[in-house]
Homo-oligomer: A and B are copies of this chain.
Amino acid sequence: MIRLLDSTPTIRLGGMTGMSGAEGVTEQVIELRLPSRLGYERIAMDTAASLARRMGFADERIDALRTAIGEAVTNAIEHGNQADEAMKVVVLLTVRPNELVISVSDQGRKALEVEQTKLRPHIADVFQRADKGGWGIWLMRELMDEVEFTLAPGGGNLVRMVVHLERMPISDQ
């Protein structure tokens, strides 16, 4: 796997020894900490897009990633951190040979209920409601390969999303 990363021209970025596990799985982690102010989600979107581009993701996957990470960070700012600018949103971008893992965590001023993570809004119903929102989490689920909600180590809300690189792995084992 190390060889795959290093011989692939698209991944000048790939990990070598970074956080090697027992199985020789390699990954590299980028951490981004943002103030809880709307607008800063754009920085997370651009950083993730820059990374995904260099990993070799197709443009449409990058667009999907931009939208998903934008929604996750916006929720962390608005809901999880209640737009208290002193609170940080932490974005971890983990580069693996065949996937990019994105985790977005907040400081949990407001807890995310499990039911809220499973909503599938229908536009015809939404017309009847005063609040036309509620599309963010559903969009993340639709656009990413894996989406999972857990508690962050510090007690906040954490969304973990995975996008797979659609490239055939050439295993050297």
Q: A37 near B50 (CB under 8 angstroms)?
A: no
Q: A63 an interface residue at 8 Å Cβ cutoff?
A: no
Q: A18 an interface residue at 8 Å Cβ cutoff?
A: yes
Q: A30 near B37 (CB under 8 angstroms)?
A: no
Within the complex, what minimum Cβ distance (angstroms) separates A83 from chain B? 10
Within the complex, what minimum Cβ distance (angstroms) separates A39 from chain B? 4
Contact with B along A1-38 (1 / 0, CB 8 A): 00000000000110111110000000011111111011
Q: A40 an interface residue at 8 Å Cβ cutoff?
A: yes
Flag the segment in A41-49, A112-120, A155-163 that touches B.
Answer: A41-49
4 A-B pairs besides A31-B33, A46-B47 with CB distance below 8 A are: A13-B39, A28-B37, A30-B32, A47-B47
5 pairs from A and B in contact (CB 8 Å cutoff) = A13-B37, A16-B37, A30-B40, A31-B32, A42-B54
